[in-house]
Structure 1
């Protein structure tokens, strides 16, 4: 049965149109869903703003009550009651709009909204009693104000919990939109690859079954016109091209003798063998390239698995080190050297090593969880003691690098509310950077100074310095000039200092040295972030 080229072309065209319409329809539906998610995100953002405004009204009313104790104003009560009434009305309106929305989180949110409404009602009930005492100039009942503060505190927590519900919805919508975007991208890449492969296959098929046979036929025709009647053309095509070839061969067969037809056949067979050999060689080269690409991709996947297991691989030897350290401590304690200074010194060193192992383990955890950096555990700590401990930690490294350590501590320095472990991590990082910047020796100065309501810490070295163009980028994550560095060191230092409501700055000159200045508040109410 003869086949027509037009049938193949029509079939390819139909498949192509169907694929385009299918992909376009899928992408359109995805984009429509993403637009719907954007509208829902906008609504959730408005709900978050509404809840925050509601909390601001409640806190403002409570603030006005406190202000009335200092400066009594007869009109303040009416204004506060009006504010609370407006807050209650806004809350009821919001509850009504949410009830009509039929959201999946409505039940959870309504429980919190009802609690918030009860808080507002409690404040409204408590306000007349407070202002009655203020009007009569009677001694104030602290229980009333404590209850008012409790209501305000609960209102703040409830509004935050309500917004957490909205934030959860927002996070889900964003994740869903990202998934759909990734699906569209994947679909686009897949269609692109398939389209390119289809184009290549179509080109090869068209060249082999249409263009090449026509060229061969034209060549054979020229040879016949030159007197070579022994040429033959061969094809497996069952289309019009095959019919044309058959007619051509039938014409030439009538012009040749039986022997010449055999010779012509042998020559054509040899030609076909060469073509197939060339194609096999090309296929072998393509297979080799594909195999090399697979090996490369396998190496990339292996590197990804190694990167994923780095955290585990570091912890394992660290745990082994810790267990061996415990065995060492046990052996030292079992030695008959009671009261011996050598034994006490060894126990002191093992205690330092034990503490450092624990700190290294915590640093690994904090590095892995850099995106969710934990809040500092604030506790009154002696900054001078922390700096002294830091100096002792880096003494051996400094001695090996021919670096002198100058420790200048202000005896009038008070304790500061800091997380001692985080502060040690930050200061040790700065000191180790300073030592590494002085490979040929130098001086490291660690200084503390008491300011009006803040503490100033300076880490000064006489090392290689930092180029002026890099000073604005040294605290950026992933920025590093060290071989093998990750670029997280100074970023983590800045994060720690800023989490303590402090500030850090850097001054440096190439070939002269670098000075890092840290400003920390000495009290929880002090403001030091603007002091340089």
Structure 2
């Protein structure tokens, strides 16, 4: 641990020292260039005009570097240093080679102005960079705070949902438990008639089954199985589900009609889960539809989505209840668990789709499942209506 601490301290010290060394190196480079140019300008004979001209042009190097490194103030200081060091050369050449001296002054002024302009631009770029970095830090802080707030909200929402589910589950369990307790008490006293005993045993059986169904549905809702996606033809699923529900519809005297789209596109889904969803909707529709009524299940495609609608002719769902029917444990049925539609909506959501409900114009309700689908494939058309 002491070695680690010493290593970290050394690393931090090196991070603080490195910018200082870099700045000193830049200053040394600029000063060395100015001194070198002034030295060679002094030692070069006045009659070597070509060499003097090259040396004058090289003055742009320290001026531009100073401007880029230290801004316009650094460029100005470098110009003053160059003038001070090259003043003897200018004075010496003023009488021996006046054109060279004048050319030296002009080029020092011109290149110096260019260095100052470059420094001003560099200063402005550094200021903009600092503003961008400050804005970036502020955005990072805001993002971190927002992420923390979202996580807190999610945690609060999960706790609230868990509390609501627990309260609802406890309420739903209490009723069958009360019936089981009452029936068990009657049987325990041993004074019930054979008819009462049979009735109590029937209550125990039914309420136990109801509890088992409630807990099974709750576990399915709380721990849903992830979908196993595969390419599936919607029409095959629709006819399969209709065949499963046909017996229940026939016993109640309800006609079951199927309309499938002629557009032969496939959808990527878990066919077993989608069948479970559609069967739940069909059975609910059959229960809500009176005798000699009709339940219609139809499919059609819109752009890149499949829509499946289940239409019944029941009494419909009140508008204030329509917004709550997908909530866990909300039910209008006497013996319902209130989890069927919640599980169905969860399945649709896991497939990237939606499950909605609206009123049927002719009476009853229409449940619509919408799922994404793939491109059309040249498959044979199927019959549009099957009774």
Normalising by structure 1, what TM-score? 0.31
Greater Rg over alpha carbons, structure: 2
Structure with greater contact order relative to length (CA < 8 Å, sep ≥ 6): 2
